Structure 1
């Protein structure tokens, strides 16, 4: 890591995780250690805080987690450059949301990306299309990188076919240490910035909200996690919990013992999930880093993955990672806020992308996606459940090939399940609960203008 140019805090963080791995630490949190949280402050209680938010917005910036590639959808490019809707990428939506915010507030709110060594060049090239966002603040920084670990020897893994695959980003839990070691944290503090709003680049609902900023300011919250009520579709996502002393913590799916997975997915017991929208008070983060040798000692996540993520047949390695939301258990005084679902609209799988591309959502003039009023009234006030056969729809190009004329109408769809190779024509309408099954090797075609519902699927 020294030869690679990684700074001392990154090396210390790696060694911290590696020692835990060597001593047999699993990184798991049992139900006895992760107790349910009953009551949180609600976003609906924040009326009036926008006054303080507007007063302090000059001290705020926006930071997007952008370390991942679109490999889960079969693309070898930054996830933020994935085409989402109307020919626009995540980055286009982010840039336009920030531009609109600046126009409405008549203030310049800097936008910054935390890139990995995989994503930086392409992301910065795409940002040149938005010169209005430049303001003298660096548009990005590159997070640290860790060696992947050979599970048999616990030594750094070797992969001569592509040495770059021997390294991995250590998860977005690395964000504050990387911001510090690059010198940007000190520069931001010197320039008068005190607050940062952090979120995933693929969350189309995550925008800077001056009510939440005002709440941070008036209540002197050092770190705030936005959480939302869990639904069945969120049952495998990280959930909020508390320890025996009442301190908040985050438990990810990979941190749950296998024997307790049913309890982890109990959405009545664990009501809130982490949206990964975080707010941080930069001076408090600086102090916490100083108290911990320049990095946050977050709970580890030991992920087992193929050394080449694009080829599942390659040898398995351990990637040592951490989640930014776990900072809630390390930063003294950290809190959580329940927010409406509109602030969480991620696109992780091809099913998510199909829903976002459909008429379930509309694009507002501030470049946010909101649910189509036809779906909200009457209910349900949620997106449909969509399951597409991963053999035929697992990758972005597969989705394009099978929906060549765009997404079908899903505004009145409750659920859609597609099994087998099915191609959809133009202006197809899906209503109610629809299951389409093609057991044949040859593709099935749904003709233009077809309406499918509970009665004819």
Structure 2
């Protein structure tokens, strides 16, 4: 039955116009799932990684920085809809500061870097089918942003959701979009190849790419890091940060004992018995910021040799899909993480960067911080932290998880410069101009904070 299930999934992808390379990658992971390989990485298989390059020690000349940046393209992942915040459009359309949304700030950062380094610096977004139109509409205001001969975007792939028991592609006639899912951002590599973007960049003389998430405004173009990567002769490099107590649940870097390769272990790849070791930030001190540096010609060579299949570790994601009133179906999504490609390349490196280069927005908690006076934004649209540390924010999801809920209760972010932590358990309205100082706990009774 599973052979028939794979054939049906392949036929469904082909009928939807999915590129052959992406179908081969999906088939690889389907067969891996079928074999019972869950992609788990035990503590016995790895040892701590403790010796990254330190970005703050780099001191390349201005000429070296310009030379590297002139060979660099910027790729931004932009497939997310922000559904956890109740959105149905690209999350990067959310206003962040000074009336600018993520896309507008990224465009501003790119244009400034082009002037600073006298470099072309193409900016290209990997969009999903659901984010592409809105993204391009927003970016159309920047008439100088697109580089001649290169598009502003390409589409990531999609794959069928599979019934958790039979592995057959599911059918949801009342909502056909729910039959599909993204393959995780590990899809970047085959989509770069299948879209033709990889060849276009290389043919125009671009040797390197900086890749980051569209919701991470800290990942600005950096000439020092670009010059280091160009001089390193590495195929792949990952920007990492030091884990704190707030990062226990996130993936970490390690070395595989078998071949000393750098690997990335995510929570979903950790056996239950190794959970304590996974969350030990002293034992495994570095996490992936999801900002990567790629040597484009070498990446193309690897994809060609491997028939588009880099062989990234499988992430088996179990979810439920609505099937009408009070009815759900359990499905399997076959996913990969783009950072896990670090284990594919024996010359891969990791570089320790300041926390200021990692400012993701996954929830309204992080958005409130970015909108507050903790940060300033200059003419170059780079965000600068005004304090030594950032407070922990925990807003009760019942009242604040969705953007419209949060903005109706917190129309203006309070001053956070003197805050150590803010925990809101009830339904509270924040009066504009309010200040959070020290550790603040607002209870379940709700009320007005001023």
Please tell me the TM-score bracket, short chain as reference: over 0.9
CA deviation map 1:294-338 (0-9, x unaligned): 131100111122336999974232111101101100123111111
SS in 2 for 1:158: coil
- Listed as ranges, the matches of 1:165-180 within 5 Å are 165-180=178-193
Q: Which moved more, 1:110-119 or 1:298-307?
A: 298-307
How has the CA–CA distance of structure 1 residues 153 and 122 changed in structure 2, closer, same or farther, with 3 Å as cutoff? same
Q: Is the 8 A contact 1:49 1:212 kept in 2?
A: no
* Displacement of 1:50: 4.9
TM-score, normalised via structure 1 length: 0.92
Aligned to 2:361: 347
- Specify the alignment match of 1:270 in structure 2: 284
- Indicate if the aligned counterparts of 2:66 and 2:118 stay in contact, CA closer than 8 A: no
Q: Decide whether the 8 Å contact of 1:50 with 1:214 is kept in 2.
A: no
Supply the distance in 1 between the matched residues of 2:56 and 2:170 (Cα, whole angstroms): 49
In structure 2, the partner of 1:302 is 316
Q: What is the rounded CA distance, in whole Å, between the counterparts of 1:311 and 1:271 in structure 2?
A: 46
Q: Which residue of 2 aligns with 1:401?
A: 408
Determine which of 433, 437, 453 is the counterpart of 2:439: 433
| Partner SS for 2:209 | strand
Which residues of structure 2 form unaligned runs of 5+? 1-12
One of 430, 435, 444 as aligned partner of 2:447: 444
CA contact (8 A) 1:70 1:77 kept: yes
From 42, 47, 61, the counterpart of 2:59: 47
More off after superposition, 198-207 vs 118-127: 118-127
Deviation at 1:150, TM superposition (A): 0.8
Give the secondary structure class of the aligned counterpart of 2:369. helix
Which residue number corresponds to residue 379 of structure 2? 365
Superimposed CA distance per residue, residues 177-217 of structure 1 (whole angstroms, 9 cap, x where no aligned partner): 11111112112111111110000000010011111111111
Question: How many pairs align?
Answer: 436
**Residue 113 of structure 1: how far off its partner (Å):** 0.3
Which string of whole-angstrom CA distances, capped at 9 and with x for unpartnered residues, describes residues 331-373 of structure 1? 231111111111101111111011111111111221011111x
Could you say what secondary structure the match of 2:398 adopts?
helix
Residues of 2 paired with 1:311 and 1:44: CA distance?
55
Which of the residues 161, 175, 179 maps onto 1:162? 175
Structure 1 distance, partners of 2:87, 2:79, is: 14
Per the alignment, residue 9 of structure 2 pairs with none
Shift in alpha-carbon separation, 1:208–1:313, aligned structure 2, 3 A: farther
Deviations 1:390-410 (A, max 9, x none): 111111111101112x01111
- Tell me if structure 2 keeps the 8 A contact 1:346–1:352: yes
**What residue number does 1:188 align with?**
201
1:424-453 per-position Cα deviation (integer Å, ceiling 9, x unaligned): 1121111111111033xxx5112xxx3xxx
Residues 358, 408 of structure 1: 8 Å contact kept: yes
* Contact 2:261/2:346, CA 8 A, preserved across alignment: no
TM-score (structure 2 length as normaliser) = 0.94
In 2 relative to 1, CA 72–32 (structure 1 residues): closer, same or farther, beyond 3 Å?
Answer: same
Q: Distance in 1 between matches of 2:427 and 2:314?
A: 40
Q: Is the 8 A contact 1:27 1:299 kept in 2?
A: yes
Pairing 1:38-437 to 2, within 5 Å after superposition = 38-48=50-60, 50-136=62-148, 137-244=150-257, 245-307=259-321, 314-372=328-386, 375=387, 381-404=388-411, 406-437=412-443
249 and 311 in structure 1: CA distance in 2 versus 1, 3 angstrom threshold: farther
CA distance in 1 between counterparts of 2:31 and 2:171 reads: 20
CA root-mean-square deviation = 1.7
> Secondary structure of the equivalent of 1:367?
coil
In 1, Cα distance between equivalents of 2:323 and 2:51: 40
User: Any idea what SS the aligned residue of 2:299 has?
Assistant: helix
Gaps of 5+ in 1: 376-380, 451-457
